[in-house]
Chain A
């Protein structure tokens, strides 16, 4: 597609359930990022994938959060045993090669609400 695609756009779940969020980056982009934005807050880094390198997981807030990137393209962010504080907009971004001077292209995000 022309841009970064995220699905679902909205997800409502019950506390304790697992959720999966999907990101389809721009074709040819080797770098993929997950961020989240809680209400009234800035963008919080979660995880970064670059090619075949080991991902930078330094931003994942707990071991309930995990992400994978299959075939160097589509990525899935999984949150297990969701908590109310996980409610946020989860944003995925991609860039061509992950170099310092590159801009990120963001998807529209997944609004996650944990009841």
Chain B
């Protein structure tokens, strides 16, 4: 049973437009959510996070929205840049921390 799902394996957008990456989860014990970005041949790097007590967190061009009732979160990138082309992973953790559970990732391609 996959507890964190990213249903879109890939997304392609034009430079300057908005990129929206989606993530759904099933475990109601998750209360902290993180997005990581991964370039080829590198490990994932942290991008932005949100606690379950919030519904929005913004950092520059990146905004994460959380809808707890729907168990859904999304990452918005505005404006998208070619350097944003990477694999984006959604991850979730519970209060007691320990392991993070990751989705399968969404490959974002931003076309110049």
Contact = CB atoms under 8 A, between A and B. Distances in A.
Interface of A: 4, 31, 33, 35, 41-45, 48, 50, 56, 58-59, 91, 93, 98-109
Interface of B: 6, 31-32, 34, 36, 41-46, 49, 51, 89, 91, 93-105
A101 B95 CA distance: 8
Contacts, number: 64
A42 B98 contact: no
12 contacts: A33-B99, A33-B100, A35-B102, A42-B103, A43-B44, A45-B99, A45-B102, A56-B99, A93-B43, A102-B97, A104-B100, A108-B42
Contacts of B43: 4, 91, 93, 106-109
A31 B93 CA distance: 14
